[in-house]
Amino acid sequence: MAISELKLPSGVQACPHDDAEQLAQALAVRVADALRQAIVSRGQATLVVSGGRSPVPFFEALAQQDVPWAQVLVSLADERWVPINHAGSNEALVRRHLLRGPAAEARFLSLYQVAGNLEQAAELADAAVAELAPIDVLVLGMGDDGHTASLFPHSPNLQQALQPDCVRRVLPMLAPSEPAQRLTLTQPVLASARLPLLAIQGQAKLNILSAALQPGEASELPIRAFLNSPLEIHWCS
C-alpha cells in the first residue's frame, strides 16, 4: 500500500517521498520556508519538533537551511523526564543534530524540569511553555502503537490531554517503553499549529495510519486526534 491509496479527510495532504533521505530533505525545505514566512509576517517563528530516532536526518538537513535562526523559538512536542545528559533526552537530540552551526542561534524552550516527581515537573513545564502557542510549524512523529508526542494509547491523563478545552499545556504521561516517565504537550497546544506536519516511515506505520482513519476512539490510536485539516503527512516506504 502507498499513502496515495489512503482516503484522507479534506485538508489532509499526502506527501510521498522515495526514501528517508529525500523525505528528510523535502521536510527540511518545507519547514525552513514556513519559518521564513512566519518571520516575515510576525517577526518570529515557533518550531515544535518530536524526538525519537527517525527525525535525526531531518534535523541535520534543517540545520543546513538558510533561516534567520535568531528569530526562531524551538521546543518539543514531548520529552522524556530525564536530564539532558541521559541517552533518552529529546532536548539533547535536538541540540546535537539541529541546533548547531547557524541554527545554534535559535532559542530553545525546554520541557524538562528538575522536580521532586513527574507531576511537579509537568506543572513547572506547563508554566515554562506559556509563550509557545500558537505554534508556527509542528513536526509530529508516530509510534507503531499510534502514539504521537507522548500521547500513548490508554495512558493515564490521555483523555484529559486530548480534550480540545484542556486547560493544561503540559501533562505527565507514562509510556510503555523506557524511559516511561514523559512530559507531553496537550492537544490544544499541538492543535494551535499553523502548519502541522506528520512525518512517518515504513509500511507498518502506514497500516496504523490507515487504521486510524477508520472510525474509532482516539484512546486506542491517539494520532486520530490530529488527522484533520490542515495536515501534511510526509511518508516514505
Ligand X SMILES: O=C(O)[C@H](O)[C@@H](O)[C@H](O)[C@H](O)COP(=O)(O)O
- Residue among 26, 51, 59, 224 that touches ligand X (CB under 6 A): 51
Choices 8-16, 44-52, 94-102, 158-166 (CB under 6 A): range interacting with ligand X: 44-52
Smallest distance, Å, CB 10 to ligand X? Answer: 25
> Which residue shows C-alpha cell 523526564?
81
Does residue 148 belong to the site contacting ligand X (CB under 6 A)? yes
Report DSSP state, residue 151: B
CB nearer to ligand X: give 54 or 181. Answer: 54
Does residue 141 belong to the site contacting ligand X (CB under 6 A)? yes
Helix-helix angle 56-63:20-42, to 10 degrees = 50
- Residue among 138, 149, 198, 223 that touches ligand X (CB under 6 A): 149
- Residue among 26, 62, 77, 137 that touches ligand X (CB under 6 A): 77
CB distance 47 to 35 below 8 Å: yes
- Residue among 46, 75, 89, 90 that touches ligand X (CB under 6 A): 90
Does residue 50 belong to the site contacting ligand X (CB under 6 A)? yes
Q: How many helices (H) and strands (E) does the chain have?
A: 7, 10
Query: Is residue 127 classed as helix, strand or coil in its secondary structure?
Result: helix
Kindly report whether the peptide bond that precedes residue 134 is cis, defined as omega within 30 degrees of 0.
Answer: yes
C-alpha to C-alpha distance for 192 and 134, rounded to whole angstroms: 5
Does residue 78 belong to the site contacting ligand X (CB under 6 A)? yes
Does residue 54 belong to the site contacting ligand X (CB under 6 A)? yes
- Residue among 143, 146, 196, 222 that touches ligand X (CB under 6 A): 143
CB distance 89 to 113 below 8 Å: no
Cα torsion 172, 208, 35, 26: sign:
positive
The residue of the chain with the least Cβ separation from ligand X equals 141
Q: Give the CA count within 13 Å in the CB-facing half-sphere of 68.
A: 13
CB nearer to ligand X: give 39 or 60. Answer: 60
Smallest distance, Å, CB 59 to ligand X? Answer: 12
Residues of this chain that bind ligand X (CB under 6 A): 50-54, 77-78, 90, 141-143, 147-149
